[in-house]
């Protein structure tokens, strides 16, 4: 009896001793300073030893599988370590209740496949956290049929609690490794949507959150642009009204970082995604409040956020590249590439849905560019683009086609009438003046329109015809709209040929210089003749200089043609001066395109031509318009010419963007009053006022005034009375071919006063 009791006491003492030694060993392992992953491995090894188990493993629940975080007893290459194993009933119970579960006997359904052949008879599943829905288990498997005793279980519970920290560290290390391995893979997404989708999924895995979502922020628009992982309703409601970007400052977020802020029954991590210090997106991860995030989760998410920032930048870069291919960088409108694509798509539709096309070319845009500079010109194009945008339907494609040309593709229009209607609306949108760097600028557009029936025409034919219609509109004057049906398109094609034919016009002898006398309004004598170019086209007859001079400027042909006109005119002057000597001698006035002054060596070239014709430069007037760009090069050329004695006349004064500084900066000696003012001088008070003002300017700057387009005696008289010294116009003579001009000069001997009245 006593012996039995002694034996029991001894046994108990032995067990207690054994348990105590085990605990001491375990505690000493857990207490030793070691890196977390080493600690985990060593703890598992000691556990295996002191509990006589074949296998000890710490596993993490991922869905319905368990994945080993650390293990002892499996072969290193055991597939179980890679792939995990199904959550069995005992494991499920332990995970669900947070309570330790033991089993002894047949355990097949509970074990990793590679443990089955070992003949495991006893097992324990110990949740690492003593709470519901724990996710990590310490699992011990042994062959011995002995069940885990209460004191062993007690010991395991306290070991598990201590292991938890080490496991969290280990988990974090694994996640970091994943991040390092896969984070940059985010950047393989070129589109934002799939990128964000993957980010949401990766973030969920990294933080083991119940729910994750990403919101991107567009600061320009002050809106949340894309949100993944949340419904629209969620975004508006939770975690706080998301409409105001102000609330999404990184600083405000930092406060809630660390382990997340409590919202409702959840804990929410909010981590900013920054690019160059600017918030581009916010990452969210939420977990049930009773299962807070592991320490360091915010830090981890921040690392992830860096990866995401890079990927978002990439996606944006790609989007921009893609856009650049189809977008006009200046106006942000579509470019010609997109016009072609869109037209082709529309023309592939049913014949019942005709396609409209409008071709708009700004009138006198070159003038704005030349006068106010290219930057102002660019700004004007942007403003025009915005106005046009508002004048068409959102579904219509508005594109900048190049230079000052805009194109509008109208999907599904009724008929040509509707195309014309839109054309007029577009034209009307430009009526109001533009504000450009403090200056008020007016522009109009010449607009050509066509209708295309799917199956009957092509994109390029439509573009060609609309362009032709635009040219016809341009010839009719400023701000005109012209629409073409089939027949008109064919006729108009001829006009397009003008451009290419112009370069050969000179060689083919189709150009001729006409001369219009310029009289002194006081004495009536002819003081000079203006050279005016004529193009006799074999098919089109007389092509007006207003049509072909701008074309020549566009194509560059103006250089050669301009030189030729100057040479012709000077040679003619030399002949007249020889035949009809006068004092002061007769002068010649020649129109000069801006480009002629811009070319290198302009002054030398012009003086060579003048002197080569045997003419004294002081007998030459060069007419420039205010549209001539006042670059340094132009000013220098003008100064050099003026120094050689050439006189400059400012043509069409009052019609362009008059600026008095122009008069100061250009060596002008003559002002030509545009014929539109002269036309109204006798019956429009306003025109009379303008002429009076121009003459006052001329007088104060000591310039000689020339009235243009004088058709009737009262106009001449009015000009003379207001103090205009010189004049030209049909009243005296229209421009004449050289021969007729010679006859005219003979009949109006320079010394003989012209009969007036």
Chain residues that interact with ligand C2E, rule: CB under 6 A: 516, 532-533, 544-546, 549, 562, 565, 591-593, 623, 651-652, 675, 708-711, 728-730, 735
Q: Output 382 or 655, the one with its CB closest to ligand C2E.
A: 655
Question: Cα angle at 699 between 693 and 702, to 5 degrees?
Answer: 140
Partner that binds at residue 479, options Mg ion, ligand C2E, none, CB closer than 5 to 8 Å by kind: none
Q: Output 384 or 566, the one with its CB closest to ligand C2E.
A: 566
Q: Which stretch binds Mg ion (CB under 5 A): 349-357, 505-513, 552-560, 583-591?
A: 583-591
Minimum CB distance to ligand C2E, residue 555 (Å): 14
Tokens of 113: 């496949």
Contact (Cβ atoms closer than 8 angstroms) between residue 97 and residue 132 = yes
Partner that binds at residue 565, options ligand C2E, Mg ion, none, CB closer than 5 to 8 Å by kind: ligand C2E
Q: Output 521 or 533, the one with its CB closest to ligand C2E.
A: 533
Regarding 626 and contact with Mg ion (CB under 5 A), the answer is no
Cβ burial, residue 216 (10 Å; 0-12/13-18/19+): buried
Q: Output 591 or 725, the one with its CB closest to Mg ion.
A: 591
Minimum CB distance to ligand C2E, residue 678 (Å): 8
Minimum CB distance to Mg ion, residue 527 (Å): 15
Residues 6+ apart with CB under 8 A from 391: 425, 426, 428, 429
- Euclidean distance between CA atoms 371 and 394, whole angstroms: 34
Q: Which stretch binds Mg ion (CB under 5 A): 101-109, 263-271, 702-710, 729-737?
A: 702-710
Minimum CB distance to ligand C2E, residue 344 (Å): 40
Q: Output 88 or 729, the one with its CB closest to ligand C2E.
A: 729
Minimum CB distance to Mg ion, residue 530 (Å): 6
The CB density around residue 106, as the number of other CB atoms within 10 Å, is 9
CA distances from 702 to 167, 321, 656, 669, 695 (A): 96, 57, 21, 8, 10
Partner that binds at residue 465, options ligand C2E, Mg ion, none, CB closer than 5 to 8 Å by kind: none
Upper half-sphere CA count for residue 288 (Cβ side, 13 Å): 7
Q: Output 68 or 573, the one with its CB closest to ligand C2E.
A: 573
- Euclidean distance between CA atoms 51 and 504, whole angstroms: 105
CA distances from 461 to 214, 454, 545 (A): 48, 12, 28
Tokens of 202: 């990766």
Minimum CB distance to ligand C2E, residue 702 (Å): 23
Minimum CB distance to Mg ion, residue 651 (Å): 4
Q: Output 359 or 514, the one with its CB closest to ligand C2E.
A: 514
Partner that binds at residue 729, options ligand C2E, Mg ion, none, CB closer than 5 to 8 Å by kind: ligand C2E
Closest CA to 518 of 757, 682, 755, 754: 754
Q: Output 462 or 650, the one with its CB closest to ligand C2E.
A: 650
Minimum CB distance to ligand C2E, residue 619 (Å): 18
Regarding 591 and contact with Mg ion (CB under 5 A), the answer is yes
Q: Output 216 or 596, the one with its CB closest to ligand C2E.
A: 596
Minimum CB distance to Mg ion, residue 744 (Å): 18
Partner that binds at residue 319, options Mg ion, ligand C2E, none, CB closer than 5 to 8 Å by kind: none
- CB under 8 A, 24+ apart: contacts of 491-499: 492/465, 492/468, 493/464, 493/465, 493/468, 494/539, 494/540, 495/468, 495/471, 495/540, 496/464, 496/467, 496/468, 496/471, 498/537, 498/540, 498/543, 498/547, 498/548, 498/551, 499/551, 499/554, 499/555
Minimum CB distance to ligand C2E, residue 218 (Å): 51
Contact (Cβ atoms closer than 8 angstroms) between residue 206 and residue 301 = yes
Minimum CB distance to Mg ion, residue 516 (Å): 9
Minimum CB distance to Mg ion, residue 675 (Å): 6
Q: Output 47 or 593, the one with its CB closest to ligand C2E.
A: 593
- CB under 8 A, 24+ apart: contacts of 344-348: 344/459, 346/409, 346/411, 346/452, 346/454, 347/452, 347/454, 347/455, 347/457, 347/458, 347/459, 347/462, 348/454
- Euclidean distance between CA atoms 467 and 446, whole angstroms: 10
Contact (Cβ atoms closer than 8 angstroms) between residue 267 and residue 207 = no
Regarding 623 and contact with Mg ion (CB under 5 A), the answer is yes
In terms of phi and psi (left: phi > 0; alpha: psi -120 to 50; beta: otherwise), the region of 362 is beta
DSSP characters for 451-467?
EE-TTT--HHHHHHHHH
Alpha helices by DSSP H, 62-182:
79-83, 89-97, 150-182
CA distances from 418 to 76, 98, 166, 187, 449 (A): 78, 75, 76, 48, 10
Minimum CB distance to Mg ion, residue 558 (Å): 15
Minimum CB distance to ligand C2E, residue 561 (Å): 7
Output the CA torsion 429→432→434→438 (10° steps).
-160
Minimum CB distance to ligand C2E, residue 628 (Å): 10
Q: Output 423 or 654, the one with its CB closest to ligand C2E.
A: 654
Q: Output 128 or 649, the one with its CB closest to ligand C2E.
A: 649
Omega before 239 within 30 of 0, i.e. cis: yes
Contact (Cβ atoms closer than 8 angstroms) between residue 103 and residue 110 = yes
Q: Output 592 or 615, the one with its CB closest to ligand C2E.
A: 592
Bridge partners, residue 483, by sequence: 449
Q: Output 472 or 518, the one with its CB closest to Mg ion.
A: 518
Partner that binds at residue 735, options Mg ion, ligand C2E, none, CB closer than 5 to 8 Å by kind: ligand C2E
Q: Which helix (H) or strand (E) holds 64?
A: none
Closest CA to 445 of 359, 536, 382: 359
Minimum CB distance to ligand C2E, residue 639 (Å): 20
Q: Which stretch binds Mg ion (CB under 5 A): 206-214, 241-249, 264-272, 590-598?
A: 590-598
Contact (Cβ atoms closer than 8 angstroms) between residue 35 and residue 162 = no
Output DSSP code: residue 421.
H
Burial 149-167 (b: 16+ CB within 10 A, else e): eeebeebbbebbebbbbbb
Q: Output 399 or 595, the one with its CB closest to ligand C2E.
A: 595
Minimum CB distance to ligand C2E, residue 730 (Å): 3
Pairing of strands 647-653, 668-673: parallel
Q: Output 136 or 626, the one with its CB closest to ligand C2E.
A: 626
Closest CA to 756 of 734, 727, 736, 722: 727
Kindly state the number of chain residues that form the binding site for Mg ion, as judged by CB under 5 A: 5
Using CB under 5 A, pick the residue from 482, 626, 651, 687 that binds Mg ion.
Answer: 651
Q: Output 370 or 708, the one with its CB closest to Mg ion.
A: 708
Using CB under 5 A, pick the residue from 164, 652, 705, 710 that binds Mg ion.
Answer: 652
Site residues, Mg ion (CB under 5 A):
591, 623, 651-652, 708
């Amino acid at each position: 009896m006593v012996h039995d009791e002694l034996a029991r006491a001894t046994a108990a003492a032995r067990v207690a001793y054994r348990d105590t030694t085990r605990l001491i060993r375990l505690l000493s392992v857990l207490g030793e300073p070691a890196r977390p992953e080493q600690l985990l491995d060593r703890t598992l090894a000691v556990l295996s030893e002191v509990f006589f188990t074949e296998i000890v493993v710490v596993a993490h629940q991922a869905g319905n599988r368990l994945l080993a975080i650390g293990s002892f007893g499996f072969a290193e290459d055991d597939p179980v370590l890679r792939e995990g194993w199904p959550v069995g009933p005992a494991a499920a119970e332990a995970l669900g209740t947070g309570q330790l579960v033991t089993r002894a006997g047949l355990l097949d359904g509970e074990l990793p496949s590679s443990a089955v052949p070992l003949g495991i008879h006893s097992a324990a599943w110990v949740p690492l956290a003593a709470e519901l829905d724990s996710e990590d288990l310490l699992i011990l498997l042994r062959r011995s049929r002995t069940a885990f005793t209460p004191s062993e279980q007690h010991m395991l519970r306290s070991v598990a609690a201590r292991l938890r920290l080490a496991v969290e560290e280990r988990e974090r290390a694994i996640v970091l490794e994943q991040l390092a391995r896969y984070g940059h893979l985010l950047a393989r997404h070129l589109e934002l949507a799939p990128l964000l989708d993957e980010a949401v999924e990766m973030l969920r895995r990294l933080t083991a959150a119940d729910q994750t979502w990403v919101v991107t922020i567009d600061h320009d628009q002050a809106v949340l642009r894309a949100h993944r992982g949340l419904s629209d309703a969620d975004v508006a409601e939770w975690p706080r009204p998301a409409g105001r970007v102000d609330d999404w400052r990184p600083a405000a977020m930092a406060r809630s970082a660390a382990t997340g802020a409590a919202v409702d029954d959840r804990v929410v991590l909010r981590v900013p995604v920054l690019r160059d210090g600017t918030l581009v997106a916010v990452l969210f991860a939420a977990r049930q409040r009773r299962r807070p995030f592991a320490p360091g989760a915010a830090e981890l998410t921040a690392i992830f956020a860096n990866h995401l920032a890079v990927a978002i930048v990439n996606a944006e870069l790609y989007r921009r590249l893609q856009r650049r291919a189809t977008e006009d960088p200046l106006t942000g409108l579509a470019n010609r590439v997109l016009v072609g694509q869109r037209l082709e798509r529309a023309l592939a539709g049913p014949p019942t849905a005709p396609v409209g096309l409008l071709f708009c070319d700004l009138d006198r845009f070159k003038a704005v560019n030349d006068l106010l500079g290219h930057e102002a010109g660019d700004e004007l194009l942007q403003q025009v683009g915005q106005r046009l945008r508002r004048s068409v339907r959102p579904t219509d494609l508005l594109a900048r086609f190049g230079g000052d040309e805009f194109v509008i593709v109208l999907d599904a229009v009724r008929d040509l009438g509707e195309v014309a209607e839109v054309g007029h609306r577009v034209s009307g949108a430009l009526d109001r003046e533009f504000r450009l760097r403090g200056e008020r600028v007016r522009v109009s557009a010449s607009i050509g329109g066509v209708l295309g029936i799917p199956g009957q025409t092509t994109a390029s034919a439509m573009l060609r015809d609309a362009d032709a219609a635009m040219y016809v509109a341009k010839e009719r004057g400023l701000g005109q709209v012209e629409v073409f049906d089939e027949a008109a398109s064919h006729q108009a094609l001829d006009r397009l040929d003008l451009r290419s034919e112009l370069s050969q016009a000179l060689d083919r002898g189709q150009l001729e210089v006409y001369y219009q006398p310029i009289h002194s309004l006081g004495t009536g004598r002819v003081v000079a003749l203006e050279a005016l170019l004529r193009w006799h086209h074999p098919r089109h007859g007389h092509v007006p200089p207003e049509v072909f001079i701008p074309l020549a400027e566009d194509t560059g042909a103006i250089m050669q043609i301009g030189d030729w006109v100057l040479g012709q005119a000077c040679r003619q002057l030399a002949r007249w001066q020889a035949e009809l000597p006068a004092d002061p001698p007769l002068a010649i006035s020649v129109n000069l395109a801006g480009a002629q002054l811009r070319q290198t060596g302009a002054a030398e070239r012009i003086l060579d031509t003048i002197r080569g014709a045997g003419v004294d430069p002081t007998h030459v007037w060069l007419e420039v318009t205010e549209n001539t760009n006042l670059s340094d090069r132009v000013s220098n050329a003008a100064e050099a010419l003026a120094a050689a004695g050439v006189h400059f006349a400012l043509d069409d004064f009052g019609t362009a963007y008059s600026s008095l500084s122009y008069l100061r900066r250009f060596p002008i000696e003559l002002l030509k009053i545009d014929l539109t003012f002269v036309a109204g001088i006798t019956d429009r008070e306003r025109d009379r006022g303008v002429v009076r003002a121009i003459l006052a300017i001329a007088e104060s700057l000591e310039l000689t005034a020339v009235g243009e387009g004088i058709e009737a005696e009262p106009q001449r008289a009015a000009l003379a009375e207001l103090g205009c010294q010189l004049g030209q116009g049909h009243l005296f003579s229209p421009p004449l071919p050289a021969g007729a001009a010679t006859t005219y000069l003979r009949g109006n001997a320079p010394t003989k006063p012209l009969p007036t009245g």
